Amino acid sequence: MTIEESTFGYTKENQRVSLFKLGNGAGMTVEILNYGGIIKNICVPDRYGKVEDVVLGHDNITDYEEKSDYFGCIAGRFANRINQGRFRINGTQFQLPQNSNGNSLHGGIKGFDKQIWKAQTFHSGDEVGVSLFYLSEDGEEDYPGNMKCWVTYTLDNSNQLKIEYRAETDKTTIVNLTNHTYFNLKDGGETTILNHDLKIKASCFTPVDAKLIPHGTIDSVNDTPFDFREFKTIGEHIETGHVQLKNGGGYDHNFVLDKEDGACELIASVYEPISGRLLDVLTTEPGIQFYSGNFLKGDIVGKNGVAYKFRSGLCLETQHFPDAPNHDNFPSTILNPGEQFESATIYKFGVEP
């Protein structure tokens, strides 16, 4: 197991950004930035042993600051959307910045994805990793409470990348944390993800309106394009005109996972037939946002000069449900003083012959 630290660059405010390169004995490397907790690269072998990068991103800090679409970052304090940025805690109304079409998205104007985190590396047995810490101050992006947040990335020898999240607050607040990596298991974003096969262990999903805000219902996936309980090619039903696919511009929906509360279980897999690469997703979270990269439109040029076209990357964001603070029937996202928010997600890479 190896770990190397280097300087990735300097932000516009002249803060140094570090890059941590984790390597294992099985040919996998992961590069992480302390800016936004961003996963910049994940290099894994294909079925012939050829190691390639399978995530979208940038090769310099300025592009992450100026033209990233949440590539690889930690989204927080509240991942995904809150209707009009408004919610109540014990009768008090809070108003967050409306940074996306009248709603709050991914923590606001300067969310966790744009902050510098304190980083510490570790190396133990057959694991190597980096622990990140960020203090989100009371009132930052108009959220209540000083919230301390820890995110730990750990790589092991079985090609598992584990992400552990922990948070504490000194005033009642809301929290929803995820990682926003865009995967393309074939070529890191040169072509579309429509030929990837996907499986999600979810009998239900949370339908949305045209602004991607959940109606509040939990609907069955039976006989809909949202049934991924068996492997299905992503492109198979994406253009069928289902009202939910119109609202999302494709898949951009929260799936309600069929799992035991809090247990870390295998809940989704993606397989890319040409490379043979397989990604398994395990989580303790109750939901996952499957986003098929519908807002990518070729105007963002990323690593190695690749322009990320429509649906050239897919996200599998483990999470609590979008707009949860406004829906009592969704698992609670309230964090009280004295409590610990804890969650874990594992991205495990392999190949099929």
The residues annotated with a catalytic role in the active site are 180, 317
Q: Binding segment for ligand BGC among 200-208, 236-244, 289-297, 326-334 (CB under 6 A)?
A: 289-297
**Residues with Cβ within 8 Å of residue 177, at least 6 apart in sequence:** 74, 75, 76, 77, 79, 112, 149, 151, 165, 167, 319, 341, 343
Residue from 70, 143, 153, 251 that binds ligand BGC (CB under 6 A)? 70
Q: Distance between CA atoms of 115 and 93, rounded to whole angstroms?
A: 26
Q: Which is nearer to ligand BGC, 69 or 219 (CB)?
A: 69
Which one of 18, 34, 41, 80 is in contact with ligand BGC (CB under 6 A)?
A: 80
Nearer to ligand BGC, 86 or 297 (CB): 297
Any contact of residue 104 with ligand BGC (CB under 6 A)? Answer: no
Stretch that binds ligand BGC, among 30-38, 156-164, 239-247, 288-296 (CB under 6 A): 288-296
**57-to-88, 174, 222, 279, 300 alpha-carbon distances in Å:** 36, 28, 35, 18, 10
Q: Are 202 and 229 in contact (CB under 8 A)?
A: yes
User: Binding to ligand BGC by residue 68, rule CB under 6 A?
Assistant: no
User: Between 20 and 71, whose beta carbon lies closer to ligand BGC?
Assistant: 71
Counts for the chain of helices (H) and strands (E), in that order: 2, 28
Q: Is 318 in the site for ligand BGC (CB under 6 A)?
A: no
Please report whether residue 280 would count as binding ligand BGC according to CB under 6 A: no
Whole-number Å distance between alpha carbons of 171 and 204: 33
Number of Cβ within a 10 Å radius of residue 271: 20
**Dihedral, 121, 123, 126, 132 alpha carbons, nearest 10:** -20
Which residues lie across from 268 on neighbouring strands? 200, 281
Tokens for 332?
């609670």
Q: Closest CB to ligand BGC among 45 and 107?
A: 107
Residue 212 lies near ligand BGC (rule: CB under 6 A): yes
Q: Does 252 bind ligand BGC (CB under 6 A)?
A: yes
Is residue 193 close enough to count as binding ligand BGC by CB under 6 A?
no
Q: Does 69 bind ligand BGC (CB under 6 A)?
A: yes
Min dist. Cβ of residue 96 to ligand BGC (A)? 16
- Sheet containing strand 219-220, edge to edge, reads 182-183, 314-319, 287-291, 252-257, 202-206, 219-220
Triad 214, 218, 223: Cα angle to 5°: 110
Q: Is 317 in the site for ligand BGC (CB under 6 A)?
A: yes
Q: Closest approach of Cβ 67 to ligand BGC, in Å?
A: 12
* 103 lines the binding site for ligand BGC (CB under 6 A): no
Decide: 228 and 202 in contact? Cβ < 8 Å: yes
Burial 242-261 (b: 16+ CB within 10 A, else e): eebbebbbbbbbbbbbebee
Nearer to ligand BGC, 129 or 287 (CB): 287
One residue of 289, 292, 312, 345 binding ligand BGC per CB under 6 A: 289
295 binds ligand BGC (CB under 6 A): yes
Please report whether residue 113 would count as binding ligand BGC according to CB under 6 A: no
Is 291 a binder of ligand BGC (CB under 6 A)?
A: yes
Total site size for ligand BGC, rule CB under 6 A: 10
Which residue ranges make up the site for ligand BGC (CB under 6 A)? 69-70, 80, 212, 252, 289, 291, 295, 315, 317
